[in-house]
C-alpha cells in the first residue's frame, strides 16, 4: 500500500512553480521536449479496418520508453486514432499510447483503464507520447499495468500531432478522446474486455468524469464500470468572476491564460484583447509554450502577471467568458457509472467551492458519487491511495458506496 500511495500522490503532483495543471506535468527537466525524443519501431499488427471513432490509423512499437513500463508490458505502442471534437463534432486525429500486461488475460479479457493525464501544455509538442516518461505519467501508468489492466493514455486532441489545436479544459473533447482511446486499444491488444474505467487527476480528472457522463451516449459497445477523478477541473466557470474581481490566485492566472489560448481557437470571434494586457499580451507566445526556447522564461513571466493583466475589459466580456467556461464544465448530465472524487480544501488552483458545486449538481442528476474532501490538502498533495482498491471493486462488480443524499420524496 505504501508504494501505491506514493505512486498516486506523485501521479497528481502540481506546483505553482511548474505553472501547469498536471498529473505530473512538465518539470524544468521536461522544458525542452523534442517531439522526436521517443523512438518508434515498426508498425504493429492490429485491426485497421474501419474509419469511425476509435479506429486506428497507426500503432508503432515504442523503443525508448521508461524501463518501468517496458519491463512489464507485452505491448507498448504509440498510436494515432480517430476521435470527435466536443466543440463542433468534427472528426479529429488524436495520438496517445497503449500498454498491455504480460501473461495470460483473465476470463473475459484484459480490463481497460483510460488514463487521463493532467495538463502538459496546450500546443502540439506537449503530448505525453512524445516523451519517454510520458511527461511524468509513466510511474502511475506502470502501476496500473502491473495491476492487470490494459492502459490507454490519450494525448488529447491537439497535443502530440499537428493539424489541429487543443481545446484546453473542454470536458466533452477530452471525454470523447478517452472513450476512443479504449476503442483503439481494443483494436491493438488481443483478448481485451469491453469493461473499462476512466482514471485521472486534475485535467485528467475532468476527462475521467466527462468520459463517464458520455459513456451512455458516445461509448456504445463498451461497458463503463466507474471513474476516478482526483482534484478534477470540473466546474471552472468561477475563473470568469475571479478574473473580473481581481481575485485570481497565483496558480489560476497562468491557468486562465492557457484556457484563453484554446478558446481563441474554438471561438475565433472571441476578441482576446478583451482579456489580456500587460505582460500577458506582450509575452503571449512565451506564456503559451510548454517546451523549447519560448518556454524557458514562462515561470518567471507568469509570476509577473498582475490582476489587471487578465481582467475582462467590460461586464459583457465577463459574461461571454463565463458562458464559454460553463459550456466546457461539468456536469453536463447523468453519469453512466459510479464515481470516486477526491479533492482538497486548500486547493489554490481548483477551488473547493467549485468542486463542491459540481458534486452537488452531479448528485442532483442522480449520480452515484463517493466523494472525499481532504481539508488540509491542496492540489499537489492530495492522497489518492484509495483509488486502486475502489477500481478493483468496480471491476469485481461490487456495489459502490453513494454519498449523495437520497432524492426527496
For residue 15, is pLDDT > 50? no
State the CATH architecture for 2-231+338-396: 3-Layer(aba) Sandwich (3.40)
Check residues 12 and 172 and name the one with the higher pLDDT. Answer: 172
**What pLDDT is recorded for position 41?**
83
Using pLDDT thresholds of 50, 70 and 90, give the confidence band for residue 34.
very low
Mean pLDDT of 40-51: 91
| Burial class of residue 220, CB neighbours in 10 A (0-12, 13-18, 19+) | exposed
Mean pLDDT of 143-147: 97
With a pLDDT cut of 70, the percent of the chain lying above it is: 91
Check residues 377 and 14 and name the one with the higher pLDDT. Answer: 377
Look at strands 73-84 and 110-116 and give their pairing: unpaired
Q: Which is nearest to 154 in space by CA: 178, 134, 138, 135? A: 178
Please report where in the chains the cell 474581481 appears, as a residue: 245
Work out the mean pLDDT of the chain and round it to a whole number: 91
Backbone φ and ψ of 233, nearest 5°: -85, 70
Write out pLDDT tens, residues 61-70: 999 999 999 9
**What pLDDT is recorded for position 291?**
76
Using pLDDT thresholds of 50, 70 and 90, give the confidence band for residue 77.
very high
Write out pLDDT tens, residues 216-250: 999 999 999 999 999 999 999 999 999 999 999 99
Write out pLDDT tens, residues 184-207: 999 999 999 999 999 999 999 999
Check residues 168 and 299 and name the one with the higher pLDDT. Answer: 168
Q: With a threshold of 0.85, does the pTM exceed it?
A: yes
For residue 26, is pLDDT > 90? no
Mean pLDDT of 17-42: 46
Largest interatomic CA distance in the chain: 61
**What pLDDT is recorded for position 290?**
86
Mean pLDDT of 34-58: 85
Using pLDDT thresholds of 50, 70 and 90, give the confidence band for residue 42.
confident
- How far CA 37 is from CA of 29, 121, 132, 184, 389, in Å, comes to 13, 17, 7, 23, 35
- Indicate the range of 16-30, 66-80, 136-150, 282-296 predicted with least confidence: 16-30
**What pLDDT is recorded for position 185?**
98
- Spatial neighbors of 202 by CB under 8 A, at least 6 apart, are 12, 14, 21, 22, 23, 118, 119, 230, 231, 232, 233, 349, 350, 379
Length of the chain equals 409
Report d(CA 400, CA 406) in Å as an integer. 15
Mean pLDDT of 108-134: 96
Q: What angle do CA 97, 98, 100 make, to 5 degrees?
A: 155
- How far CA 128 is from CA of 148, 230, 375, 393, in Å, comes to 22, 19, 31, 29
For residue 409, is pLDDT > 70? no
Mean pLDDT of 95-101: 98
**What pLDDT is recorded for position 408?**
67
- Indicate the range of 5-9, 155-159, 162-166 predicted with least confidence: 5-9
**What pLDDT is recorded for position 50?**
86
**What pLDDT is recorded for position 19?**
28
Amino acid at each position: 500500500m505504501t508504494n501505491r500511495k506514493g505512486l498516486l500522490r506523485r501521479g497528481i503532483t502540481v506546483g505553482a512553480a511548474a505553472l501547469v495543471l498536471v498529473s505530473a506535468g512538465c518539470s524544468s527537466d521536461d522544458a525542452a521536449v523534442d517531439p522526436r525524443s521517443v523512438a518508434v519501431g515498426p508498425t504493429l499488427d492490429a485491426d485497421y479496418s474501419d474509419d469511425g471513432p476509435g479506429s486506428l490509423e497507426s500503432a508503432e512499437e515504442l523503443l525508448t520508453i521508461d524501463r518501468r513500463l517496458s519491463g512489464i508490458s507485452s505491448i507498448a505502442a504509440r498510436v494515432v486514432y480517430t476521435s470527435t471534437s466536443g466543440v463542433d463534432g468534427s472528426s479529429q486525429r488524436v495520438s496517445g499510447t497503449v500498454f498491455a500486461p504480460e501473461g495470460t488475460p483473465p476470463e473475459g479479457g484484459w480490463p481497460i483503464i483510460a488514463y487521463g493525464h493532467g495538463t502538459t501544455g496546450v500546443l502540439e509538442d506537449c503530448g505525453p507520447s512524445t516523451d519517454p516518461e510520458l511527461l511524468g505519467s509513466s510511474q502511475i501508468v506502470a502501476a496500473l499495468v502491473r495491476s492487470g489492466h490494459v492502459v490507454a493514455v490519450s494525448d488529447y486532441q491537439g497535443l502530440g500531432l499537428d493539424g489541429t489545436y487543443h481545446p484546453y479544459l473542454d470536458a466533452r473533447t477530452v471525454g470523447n478522446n478517452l472513450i476512443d482511446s479504449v476503442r483503439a486499444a481494443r483494436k491493438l491488444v488481443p483478448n481485451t474486455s469491453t469493461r473499462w474505467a476512466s482514471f485521472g487527476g486534475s485535467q485528467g480528472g475532468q476527462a475521467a468524469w466527462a468520459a463517464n457522463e458520455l459513456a451512455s451516449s458516445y461509448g456504445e459497445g463498451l461497458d463503463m464500470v466507474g471513474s476516478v477523478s482526483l482534484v478534477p477541473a470540473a466546474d471552472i466557470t468561477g475563473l470568469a468572476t475571479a478574473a473580473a474581481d481581481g481575485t485570481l490566485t497565483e496558480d489560476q492566472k497562468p491557468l486562465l491564460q492557457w484556457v484563453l489560448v484554446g478558446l481563441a481557437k474554438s471561438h475565433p470571434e472571441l476578441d482576446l484583447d478583451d482579456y489580456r494586457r500587460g505582460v500577458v499580451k506582450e509575452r503571449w507566445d512565451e506564456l503559451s509554450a510548454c517546451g523549447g526556447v519560448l518556454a524557458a522564461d514562462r515561470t518567471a513571466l507568469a509570476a509577473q502577471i498582475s490582476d489587471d493583466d487578465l481582467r475582462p475589459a467590460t461586464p459583457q466580456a465577463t459574461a461571454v467568458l463565463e458562458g464559454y467556461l460553463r459550456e466546457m464544465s461539468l456536469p453536463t448530465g447523468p453519469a453512466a457509472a459510479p464515481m470516486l472524487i477526491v479533492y482538497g480544501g486548500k486547493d489554490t488552483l481548483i477551488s473547493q467551492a467549485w468542486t463542491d458545486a459540481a458534486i452537488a449538481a452531479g448528485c442532483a442528476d442522480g449520480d452515484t458519487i463517493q466523494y472525499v474532501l481532504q481539508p488540509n490538502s491542496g492540489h499537489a498533495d492530495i492522497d489518492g491511495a484509495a483509488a486502486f482498491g475502489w477500481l478493483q471493486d468496480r471491476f469485481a462488480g461490487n456495489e459502490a458506496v453513494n454519498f449523495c443524499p437520497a432524492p426527496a420524496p
